[in-house]
Structures are given as structure tokens and as C-alpha cells.
Chains A and B, each alone.
Chain A
Amino acid sequence: MSDVQEATKQLLDVNLHENWRAIQVTESGPRSESEHLQVTIGATVPTGFEQTAADEVREKLGSSCKISKDRGKIYFDISVESLAQVHCLRSVDNLFVVVKEFKDYQFKETKEEVLKDFEELAGKLPWSDPLKVWKINTSFKKKKTKRKKINQNSGREKIDNGQGDKTDEKEDKKGFTNNTLDSHILDYYENPAIKEEISTLVGDDLASSKDEKDEKEETHPKVLKFRVTCNRAGEKHCFSSNEAARDFGGAVQDYFKWKADMTNFDVEVLLNIHDNEIVVGIALTEESLHRRNITHFGPTTLRSTLAYGMLSLCFLFHSTHPWSYSSAQLEPIHTMTALWLCAPQPTDIIVDPMCGTGAIPIEGATEWSNCYHIAGDNNPLAVNRAANNISSLLTKSQIKEGKVSWSLPIDAVQWDICNLPLRTGSVDIIVTDMPFGKRMGSKKRNWNLYPACLREISRVCKPGTGRAALLTQDKKCFTKALSGMGHVWRKVHTVWVNIGGLHAAVYLLKRTPQAFVHPSEQDGERTPW
């Protein structure tokens, strides 16, 4: 795209934005109504961390959540004014607005009848409020679309020049908004280095507006493009997700006179079917929020939402929880609820000794900035990437006051996990993503690595109050390694998660009050550190 074209598009963007506002102003009634709109929002979260996400929603939005049986989803009600804050949630991957929920949908016997029902359903759903929400949501994102397209087209070279690009973007953004809340949301879409496939950008044919008037006054004065995505789970369905999407989509198209487009769509309609539960929604995020912090990827970069979930677990199980040697495994949901009510205090030194690209410490420094985070790894490439990701984070939040540079309470060190250069008992929390032995290392290596790792982190972790959240897919190896360490580690909780199809677990361990004794100390004397 040439500079002229880009400038033109930006201008048209501004004009259309003005038009939108103009339209809304003339509709005096609907506008004030939409401001007090209550809607149900659905969010997808890493499986196993539904409760963590529900807690975050309660804390930040004041809403209570319904956790769906369809794993990995939560639902909550908000007023439309809080939509911006919803985008600030750190434990959720994708967001959508619920059009309608059917708790117990009665499927007919034959495929033809079921699909006919879906067709008829399209015209009977309460679309108008959710579409209002979609429109408001789209106005947050519009400003970013062109920038992202440019970055994508110019390839990865630009990404490594991260600093330069971001300054340019900041200058452009100023023209559109001085609202810090808007620019915070825009940051989520600023990330140029998304490796995984992304749905697409909001259609850039806003420039070529057709001005086609719709009977439905709430829709945009141009033909919208849409697609239907159907997720289906359940044994007893006589139809496929493709068939449902196709027929439902056809009816939606007839109803709204929208144009169907699989790749360049404005509206993504979601049809989620889980056994007898159906939820129809409209997507509010294009690409997942979970890559938000990372600009420099590594081969196994952890999702930020998962990093957030693991860090949350540690705070939930703070030392205010009465220490007990009971081996009874409490019901996870009850435990977390009970401890959440204890109002956990933040603790201080949080270390990820195998940080890779630094996903966990970076999430930590962003969300728990009243703690100190250290990211360490033995691999120089990894540590450098982590440091770059930290710098990128700073560039985002940097306030330019003359030559002052800002920093965050986070540091990076290159070290060996089996021999950490840290004082004994100096660390409060260890959170790390251990090598699964699939893409990194090997199962055989894990056999030696895991016990050595557990020993060393038991040394640096503070007795009595310290804890660790360790993610691994090599559960067998981990369990065996842990079995010999009952004198220093107590497993208090396990969360089962799905990482790219692999069944992994996050083990939450508490450090026992027993002081670390160096194997060479025969006479019971303790090393001072």
C-alpha cells in the first residue's frame, strides 16, 4: 500500500467515524438507550482456569459469572459502558456477545428437520441489542486495522525493529484519540507478530462505501460482510457443524441481506452447540487476546492468559491459608472459592527460572506490578527474546518526559536451573512452564532435569510461605520427581489444562517450613544463605 493510499484510507476512516457519530446523534432515543444496555458476554478461557477468570471478572467488573459445562467458557452480564474494561481482562482468550442461549434445545429427529429449524431460528433471534454492542465494539478496533495490515504485509523484519514502528503508530494514534482507555484497548491489536492464523481484519472496504440503506436502522449504512462459525460437541447430533453453519448462515444472510465472506468479514456469528446447550453469539475479538504481551516469539511461547492463570493460583494459595499436613485433597472449586474470600496479600519476589520468551514474568510485571519479577533461562536466545519482550512492554507504557526512560519491576538473568545463583530462601514464588519433552528437551532428559529442578527451587524458595506453580505435560516424570521431595514440597492443588492438544497439568506446590539442608552438611549445620 502506497503512502498516498494509506493517507487516503486514514482520512476516509476519520470521516466515516464522524458519520457514525452523526448518525447516532440524530437518533436521540436509541442512543441514550444503548448506553444503559445490559448484555451477556461470553468469554473463552484456558480450560481448567474458568474459576480464575470468573474471579477476575468479579474483581474488575463486579459481575458474577456462570461457568458453562462446555469447558473453557464463562458468561457474565455487564452494562455496555463497561465494554472497554472487558477487553482489559487478562484471563480470557476470546470474547463474544450472546444473542441467545438455549439451555435445553430440543433437536428434532432427522437432519433435514434440525437444519430447517436452524434456518427458521435465524429470523426469530433478538439481534438488535447484540448488534449495537458489536457496533460499539468495532469502533474501538477500527483504528488499528490498517496499521496491522501494513505490518503483516511487510513481514517479520519490521517486527524486530519493534521500537521504530511503535513510535510511528503512537504518532498516528494521537490524531484519533486522546482517550487513554481507547489506546489501551488498541494495544491488544497492535501486536504485529501473531504467528498463528488469525480470522481476519475488519473489512477495509469502508473506503468504498456503498451507502445501501437497510430496513434495520441499527445496522451500518453499507452492506456488511459476515460469516458463521459453528462449534459442535456432543454424541447425539445427527448433523455436522458445517451443515449447521451453512444453513443457519443462509438464513442469516436472507434476514439481514448481508454478504457472506469467509475471510474478510465484519460480523462473525457464533453458533456454539454443546449437547443440548446452544449459544448464538457475535464475536467481539478477531484474534485471540492471549498473545498480547509477546512480540518476539519462541518455539513454545506460553499463552499470556495461561501465564495469568498460573500466577493467580499462587496468590490464591497465600500463606494466610492455615498450614496443615492434612493430605486430603479438597474439591478444587471449593478450595479456590474459600481462599479467594481470605483476600490474599500480594507477595514479593516471583521467579521464572525457565522463562523462555518470558511470557510468565511479563504477565506478572503487568498485572502484579507491586511485586518483583525475575525471568531466567539458560538459553541466550531465550533470555534475549525475553529482554526484548520486556522492552516492547515498556515502549507501550512509556511516557515521554524529556529523556527519562521508564522501567518495570522485572529483570532478566541467564542461568542454569539446576544451579541457581540465588540466595537460599530468598524467593517467594516460582512459576514456570517446564519442558514437556516434546518440542523442548526430551522425556529422557526430563528424568534427570525434573528432580534437579525441584531440588534447586526448593532451596531458593522461602520455607513455610513459599510456593510454586509448575506447568508440565510430563506428569509421570513430575509425579515421580515430587514423590521424593515430601519433606520440602507439598502438592496442594492440580489444574488440568489443554495445551495445543496435549493434556498438561499445573501443579501448585507449597514449600514446607523445613529449612533447606545442603546434602554436604552432615552435621546438621545450615548454610547461612
Chain B
Amino acid sequence: MKLLTHNLLSSHVRGVGPRSFPLRLQATEVRINRVEFNPDFTARMIPKVEWAALLEAADTLHLVEVPKGPIEGYEHDEKFLTQMHHVLLEVDVLEGTLQCPESGRLFPISRGIPNMLLSDEATET
């Protein structure tokens, strides 16, 4: 699970309100990949990023060189964009958990895939 995905996920546990985002991340296995750098794509992502959530996740994973927020003229700042590209796309949580901050409900991440199903019932095939 990449951090960009984490940034889009919110809790859907019934009854939770606005404090259901972000999901608290715990990781036991992380892999760093290389993803082709696309400065345009990264620049367009910046306005969509929920920064507090991103910083919290990055902090949990002990990532360094994470920008604290968008800087002036970020669209053309290669260093900034490269760092953001790395944080959003190149850090992959393979094993861990996501926790709903309000209900405390835990969702496992296994082989890079978060299981966000609420019920434990067998799913239809």
C-alpha cells in the first residue's frame, strides 16, 4: 500500500463522523521501490494531498526528507517534487495495520493489500 493510497482512505465504520480520517498506520514490513518520476503528475497531486495525514504516516514510518507542506513555486522545484514523489509513490507498506481513529477498529495490511471489509462473512464469488 503506497502512502498516496493511504491519503485517500478514510474510515467507513458506521456511525463515525469527521474524525474518521486519517487511518492510523502501523507497519511491520515496508519496501522501498523505484517508480518512474513524473514531475507533472506529482505537481498536480500536491493540491489534493491531505498534509497532516501524510506527515503523520511518514512519521510513523520514520521517513526522512519529507516536506512539511507545499512551498512557494513548488511546481518547478525539482527537489521538492522528487521528495514528494518518493513519499507518495515509492514507499510501500507490505505488512501492517490501519486503525480507525474513532472506533479503534483495525484493518490488516497483508502482502501490500489493505483489507477494508467490515464484516468477516465469506464474500460472494
Contacts and interface: CB of A to CB of B under 8 A. Distances in A.
Contacts of B41: 348, 370-372, 409
Interface in B5-55: 5, 8-12, 17-18, 20-21, 23, 31, 33-36, 38, 40-41, 44-45, 48, 50
B89 interface: yes
Given A379-B125, A406-B33, A416-B118, A529 B18 contact: yes
A419 B112 contact: no
B115 interface: yes
A106 interface: no
Interface stretch (A246-254, A322-330, A420-428, A483-491): A420-428
Given A381-B125, A405-B31, A421-B10, A414 B48 contact: no
B92 A407 contact: yes
Nearest to B20: A529
B2 A411 contact: yes
Contact of B12 (A381, A419, A426): A419
Contact of A414 (B18, B113, B125): B113
A405 B8 contact: no
> How many B residues are at the interface, by size bracket?
35 or more
B18 A528 contact: yes
A381 B41 CA distance: 31
A414 B44 contact: no
Contact of B8 (A369, A370, A426): A426
A529 B10 contact: yes
Contacts of A416: 116-118
Nearest to A372: B4
A419 B21 contact: no
A383 interface: yes
Contact of B116 (A379, A413, A527): A413
A406 B89 CA distance: 11
B85 to A, nearest CB: 10
A411 B20 CA distance: 22
B37 to A, nearest CB: 11
A408 interface: yes
B124 interface: yes
Contact of A407 (B10, B18, B50, B90): B90
A421 B18 contact: no
A4 interface: no
A412 interface: yes
Given A423-B10, A528-B18, A529-B10, A414 B34 contact: no
Contacts of B112: 387, 411-412
Contacts of A528: 18
Nearest to A413: B114
A141 B45 CA distance: 41
Interface in A324-381: 348-349, 369-372, 374, 378-381
A411 B5 contact: yes
A407 B8 contact: no
A404 B9 contact: no
A441 interface: yes
A414 B9 CA distance: 12
10 contacts: A369-B38, A372-B41, A378-B117, A379-B123, A411-B5, A414-B115, A421-B10, A422-B9, A426-B48, A527-B17
Given A413-B114, A414-B114, 14 more contacts: A348-B44, A348-B48, A369-B38, A405-B34, A406-B34, A412-B112, A414-B116, A416-B117, A419-B12, A422-B9, A423-B8, A423-B21, A427-B8, A441-B124
Interface of A: 348-349, 369-372, 374, 378-381, 383-384, 387, 404-409, 411-416, 419-423, 426-427, 441, 527-529
Interface of B: 1-2, 4-5, 8-12, 17-18, 20-21, 23, 31, 33-36, 38, 40-41, 44-45, 48, 50, 89-90, 92, 107, 111-118, 123-125
Q: Which 10 A-B pairs have the closest CB atoms?
A: A407-B33, A415-B116, A421-B116, A411-B5, A414-B115, A421-B12, A423-B10, A370-B41, A378-B123, A419-B12
